[in-house]
């Protein structure tokens, strides 16, 4: 792939942000737009929290916490400790620096500013050259039907630590939500060179983005190739509940099942060298590579693999 045009990456939090950082570092400044899942967003302690946007902001700014995978590096916890003393809710951990993000976002949302505009200002202030967009400025809320009944996303993910078995996942509001305007425009832009579906959880990080009204059709119609990277390596998720959820929903826990999940949308699937290149029942072209991103070099190398795969596969 040449340096011309721009790349659009669809991402959740931890896994997606790692590849987004690799792409940001190997592409020219301004040549990357990242679209984040906002189905995990919720209101907590009166604050508007956008976990995937924040993981992307902190990761792309180089201030992420590598130990937790969420929140900020070198964080202090005075607020949380004080809240605990007062008997407040502490199941969702908010570090002192992280708290500033939520307080400021909430203040500006209440003053009538859009989530897009606030996010764009935050990313500029944090020195991020990539554009970062919420999938929509309209609310979409992921909810899960589990063996303990219906749960809001953060109740399932953080409070219950993904323990309940998942039966069904819905994205409330998605069918009526409008894609963020720059996201919608990007999918029809002649300058779009590539769409990357990052190695995020397909069921709760990428599916909410695809569920926003018109996104799936726009992706099918977009002139640029679409390349997805597997979040499943050798039958396991690197982190989080992806494998557990796939099994509970009756899917085989392997990279091929992820590729089949994206059938009709993608032109190329990047699979770990432990799994591919041949995948059972997968008709789309596959490329085998090291997909575990431990070091910064791993992130950049995988980003180059993705860009090269796209260059070989114009629509
Ligand atoms: P969340 O919103 O924070 O859960 O983040 P994502 O959905 O973006 O990321 C979770 C997914 O990332 C899991 O399915 C992991 O298996 C995957 N993941 C995390 N790190 C890596 C990695 O280094 N390589 C690959 N291929 N997948 C990864």
Across the beta sheet with 166-172, what order do the strands follow?
149-152, 141-146, 166-172
- Predicted confidence band at 2 (pLDDT cuts at 50, 70, 90)? very low
Q: Using CA atoms, how far apart are residues 133 and 242, in angstroms rounded to an integer? A: 24
- Predicted confidence band at 59 (pLDDT cuts at 50, 70, 90)? very high
Q: Among 16, 2, 19, which Cα is nearest to 205's?
A: 16
Task: Indicate if the pLDDT at residue 253 is higher than 70.
Answer: yes
Task: Indicate if the pLDDT at residue 143 is higher than 80.
Answer: yes
Cα 244 to middle of ligand 1, angstroms? 13
Q: What is the pLDDT of residue 69?
A: 87
12 Cβ below 6 A of ligand 1: yes
Task: Indicate if the pLDDT at residue 313 is higher than 70.
Answer: no
Q: Using CA atoms, how far apart are residues 14 and 287, in angstroms rounded to an integer? A: 23
User: pLDDT, tens digit, for every residue of 193-248?
Assistant: 999 999 999 999 999 999 999 999 999 999 999 999 999 999 999 999 999 999 99
Q: Using CA atoms, how far apart are residues 292 and 89, in angstroms rounded to an integer? A: 35
Q: What is the pLDDT of residue 173?
A: 98
Q: Using CA atoms, how far apart are residues 47 and 101, in angstroms rounded to an integer? A: 10
Q: What is the residue extent of each domain of the chain?
A: 6-63+114-136+171-311
Q: What is the pLDDT of residue 310?
A: 80
Q: Using CA atoms, how far apart are residues 243 and 230, in angstroms rounded to an integer? A: 12
- Predicted confidence band at 1 (pLDDT cuts at 50, 70, 90)? very low
199 Cβ below 6 A of ligand 1: yes
- Are the CB atoms for 95 and 71 separated by under 8 Å? yes
Q: What is the pLDDT of residue 94?
A: 97
Q: What is the pLDDT of residue 311?
A: 73
Ligand 1 atom index nearest CA of 242: 14
14 Cβ below 6 A of ligand 1: yes
CATH superfamily of 6-63+114-136+171-311: CofD-like domains (3.40.50.10680)
Cα 200 to middle of ligand 1, angstroms? 5
**Which alpha helices (H) appear in 133-227, and where do they start and end?**
153-154, 181-187, 207-211, 215-221
225 Cβ below 6 A of ligand 1: no
pLDDT over 70 percentage in the chain: 98
Mean per-residue pLDDT for 285-296? 97
- Are the CB atoms for 138 and 178 separated by under 8 Å? yes
52 Cβ below 6 A of ligand 1: yes
Mean per-residue pLDDT for 279-287? 91
Mean per-residue pLDDT for 55-61? 98
User: pLDDT, tens digit, for every residue of 182-207?
Assistant: 999 999 999 999 999 999 999 999 99
Mean per-residue pLDDT for 132-149? 98
231 Cβ below 6 A of ligand 1: yes
Ligand 1 atom index nearest CA of 12: 8
- Are the CB atoms for 307 and 6 separated by under 8 Å? no
Q: What is the pLDDT of residue 62?
A: 98
Q: What is the pLDDT of residue 315?
A: 63
- Are the CB atoms for 94 and 101 separated by under 8 Å? no
For 99-103, 109-113, 275-279, which range has the lowest pLDDT when averaged over its residues?
Answer: 275-279
Ligand 1 atom index nearest CA of 202: 7
Strand stretches in the chain, DSSP E:
6-11, 32-36, 42-44, 47-49, 131-134, 141-146, 149-152, 166-172, 192-197, 226-229, 232-233, 236-237, 268-272, 285-289
Mean per-residue pLDDT for 77-97? 97
The mean predicted confidence, pLDDT, of the chain is 95
Q: Is 291 helix (H, G, I), strand (E, B) or coil?
A: coil
Mean per-residue pLDDT for 36-63? 98
Task: Indicate if the pLDDT at residue 113 is higher than 60.
Answer: yes
């Amino acid at each position: 792939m040449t340096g011309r045009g721009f790349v659009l990456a669809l991402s959740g939090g931890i896994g997606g942000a790692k590849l987004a950082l690799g792409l940001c570092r190997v592409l020219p400044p301004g040549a990357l737009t990242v679209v984040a899942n906002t189905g995990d967003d919720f209101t907590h302690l009166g604050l508007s929290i956008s976990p995937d946007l924040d993981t992307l902001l902190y990761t792309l700014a180089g201030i992420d916490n590598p130990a937790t995978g969420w929140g900020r590096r070198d964080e202090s916890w005075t607020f949380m400790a004080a809240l605990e003393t007062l008997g407040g809710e502490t199941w969702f951990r908010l570090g002192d620096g992280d708290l500033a993000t939520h307080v400021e976002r909430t203040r500006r949302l209440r003053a009538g500013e859009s989530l897009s505009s606030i996010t764009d200002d935050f990313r500029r202030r944090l020195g991020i050259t990539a554009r970062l967009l919420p999938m929509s400025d309209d609310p979409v809320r992921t909810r899960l039907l589990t063996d303990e009944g219906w749960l809001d996303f953060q109740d399932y993910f953080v409070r219950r630590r993904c323990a309940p078995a998942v039966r069904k996942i819905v994205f409330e509001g998605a069918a009526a939500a409008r894609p963020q305007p720059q996201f919608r425009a990007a999918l029809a832009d002649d300058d779009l060179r590539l769409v990357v579906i990052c190695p995020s959880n397909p069921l709760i990080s990428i599916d909410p983005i695809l569920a926003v009204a018109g996104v799936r059709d726009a992706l099918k119609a977009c002139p640029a190739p679409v390349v997805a990277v597997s979040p499943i390596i050798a039958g396991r998720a690197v982190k989080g509940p992806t494998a557990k959820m796939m099994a509970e929903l009756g899917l085989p826990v392997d990279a091929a099942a992820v590729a089949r999940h994206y059938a009709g949308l993608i032109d190329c699937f990047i699979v770990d060298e432990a799994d591919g290149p041949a995948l059972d029942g997968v008709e789309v072209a596959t490329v085998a590579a090291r997909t575990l991103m431990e070091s910064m070099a791993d992130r950049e190398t995988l980003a180059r693999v993705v860009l090269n795969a796209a260059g070989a596969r114009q629509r």
